[in-house]
Amino acid sequence: MAQSYEAIIIGAGVMGASLAFHLAERGVKPLILERKTVASGATGHSSGLVRMHYDLQVESQLAFESYKYFSNWREKVGGDCGFIRTGFLQIEPRANEGKLRGNVENQKKLGINTLMISANEVKEIAPDFTTDDFDFAAYEPDSGYADATLTTNSFLDAAKQKGATLMQDCEVTGIQVSGEKVVGVKTTKGDFSTPIVINAAGNWGSQVGKMVGLDIPMVIWTHDVAFLARPKTLRAFPAFIDDSISMYGRPEGNSLVLAAMEEDSFRNEESGAESQKISPDFIEHLIDKICQRIPKMEESGLHSTHVGRDGLPPDQRAIFGPAGPDGFYLATGLSGTGFKISPIAGRAMTEWILDGKPSSVDITPFTFDRFAKGNFLKGENDYGNTWK
C-alpha cells in the first residue's frame, strides 16, 4: 500500500523549501521529493541578490515582503540565511530615467526604502564607479545579498522540525490522477498517495507539467557567472544591476566580486544539462563590461566560474497557482527571480492551497492561464526583457 502524505512538493530548491516551511507552519506535513540533492539546480547557482527594484509592482511587493524575512531570519524561520546588507543600485540609461522614477515612486507606495540619487551621490556611495554616462540611479540602502543554499537548508530544517519529510535522490516518474483529481505520484523509490502536488521542479517544471497534460511554455535559460578577485585598492560598493551595460555584480565577502551579464544567455538546453563549461568569450566580454563601470577591476583576476540554469516563460515572469487536475499547483518558471521572492511566494502559495486564495500578496496575475489568454505580464514602467 502506498504511503500517504497531505501534500507532495516536487523539487528541493529554495521555492520548494519555502513551500515546505509554510505548509508545515500551517500544520500540513508535506513530503519533499528531490531528484538529486537539496539546492542542486538553479538555487545552488543563484547570485543571491536581495533587492526590491522591479518594473512590475507586484514583483517589488513580493521582494519587499520577502526582504522582511531575510532581514529577520532567525526570528521568522530560525537558523541563518547569510544575509549581508551592502545597499543596492539600479542603474538605467538616460533614456529610461522617467521609467526609473516611476518605478521608484511605485515602490515607495509599498513602503520600500528606496530613493533616486544623483550620479554625484552614487560616487559618494561607490567612489570607484564611473558615473559620467548616467544622471540618476535608484538606491536601496537596506538591500544586499544572501546565501541561497544556506537559506534553502534553513527552510528545510525548520520544516522538518514541524513534521515535513525530505527524500533526496528520488525522481518523480509520473503523477496519478483519478476523476480529474490528483491522487498520488510515482517515483524511483515507490509510489506515494496525496491529494496535493506542487510542481516546484525548476528546470524540470515543463516535464513535470506534461505528466498531467500541461504544456508549460518554458525554455531553459543558461547563465554564466564569475567570481573575480577583488583588487586591494577597490573601495566598498553596493550590489548593483546596470542596465546601461547589461550586467550586474556585488561584493562576495571581502576578497571577491560576483559578476554576470544580462545578455548572451543561452536558450533551449535540455532540462538535464549539467555542464559547468562557460561560453568561450564570456570572461573577456564580462571584464570589458565591468571595467566600464569599475575601472579598478582591470587589476582583478579570475577566481572561479559557474553556470546557472532556470526556467524562462515567454514574459520572463514566474508561474504560480492551480493548473490542470484538481490539487495540482505550479511554482515554476522563476526566471532568475525565485530566490529573492521565495519566502513570501511560498507563504502566498500555501494560502492559495489551504484557503482558496493568496492573501499575503496577490499572486493571481502569475497564473498559468495567462499564456492562453495572451495576458503576458509587463511592468508598469517597463524596461523590457531582463534576459536578452
Last residue within a domain, chosen from 280, 307, 334: 307
Q: Is residue 296 part of a domain?
A: yes
Q: Is residue 383 part of a domain?
A: no
Q: Are residues 169 and 260 in the same domain?
A: no
Alpha-carbon distance of 21 to 152, in angstroms, equals 10
> What pLDDT, on the 0 to 100 scale, is given for residue 1?
63
Q: Are residues 135 and 228 in the same domain?
A: yes
With a CB cutoff of 8 Å and minimum separation 6, the contacts of 48 are 82, 145, 146, 147, 148, 339
Q: Is residue 264 part of a domain?
A: yes
Q: Are residues 209 and 299 in the same domain?
A: no
Q: Is residue 378 part of a domain?
A: no
Q: Are residues 240 and 356 in the same domain?
A: no
Q: Are residues 120 and 161 in the same domain?
A: no
249-301 per-position pLDDT tens digit: 999 999 999 999 988 777 678 877 888 999 999 999 999 999 999 999 999 99
Query: Residue 235: exposed, middle, or buried by beta-carbon count in 10 A (0-12, 13-18, 19+)?
Result: exposed
387 — pLDDT class (breaks 50, 70, 90):
confident
CATH code assigned at 204: 3.50.50.60
Q: Are residues 132 and 228 in the same domain?
A: yes
CATH code assigned at 90: 3.30.9.10
Last residue within a domain, chosen from 254, 286, 307: 307
Q: Are residues 139 and 244 in the same domain?
A: yes
Alpha-carbon distance of 369 to 117, in angstroms, equals 39
Can you spell out the DSSP letters for 126-191?
Answer: STTS--TT-SEEEEETT-EE--HHHHHHHHHHHHHHTT-EEE-S--EEEEEEETTEEEEEEETTEE
What separation in angstroms does the CA of 380 have from each of 104, 149, 228, 317, 376?
Answer: 11, 32, 35, 14, 12
Asked if residues 251 and 303 have their Cβ atoms less than 8 Å apart, the reply is no
Alpha-carbon distance of 93 to 102, in angstroms, equals 14
Number of domains in the chain: 2
Q: Are residues 171 and 137 in the same domain?
A: no
Q: Is residue 384 part of a domain?
A: no
Alpha-carbon distance of 269 to 241, in angstroms, equals 26
Q: Is residue 381 part of a domain?
A: no
Residue 100 pLDDT > 70, yes or no?
yes
Q: Are residues 59 and 26 in the same domain?
A: no
300-335 per-position pLDDT tens digit: 999 999 999 999 999 999 999 999 999 999 999 999
Chain CA centroid to CA 376, Å = 19
3-state DSSP percent of the chain in helix, strand and coil, to 5: 30, 25, 45
User: Across the chain, how many H-helices and E-strands are there?
Assistant: 10, 22
**Overall average pLDDT of the 229-254 stretch:** 97
Q: At what angle do helices 338-355 and 57-70 cross, to 10 degrees?
A: 100
Q: Give this prediction's pTM.
A: 0.97
Q: Is residue 38 part of a domain?
A: yes
Residue 240, H or E segment: strand 239-242
Range of the structural domain that residue 279 is part of: 49-145+222-307
384 — pLDDT class (breaks 50, 70, 90):
very high
Q: Are residues 214 and 335 in the same domain?
A: yes
Q: Grid cell 545579498 — which residue? A: 145
Q: Is residue 66 part of a domain?
A: yes
> What pLDDT, on the 0 to 100 scale, is given for residue 272?
77
Rg (Cα) of the chain, in Å, rounded? Answer: 21
Beta bridge partners of 181: 178, 326
Q: Are residues 185 and 323 in the same domain?
A: yes
Last residue within a domain, chosen from 307, 332, 354: 307
User: What is the overall mean pLDDT for the chain?
Assistant: 96
Q: Are residues 287 and 160 in the same domain?
A: no
Residue 221 pLDDT > 90, yes or no?
no
Alpha-carbon distance of 362 to 189, in angstroms, equals 36
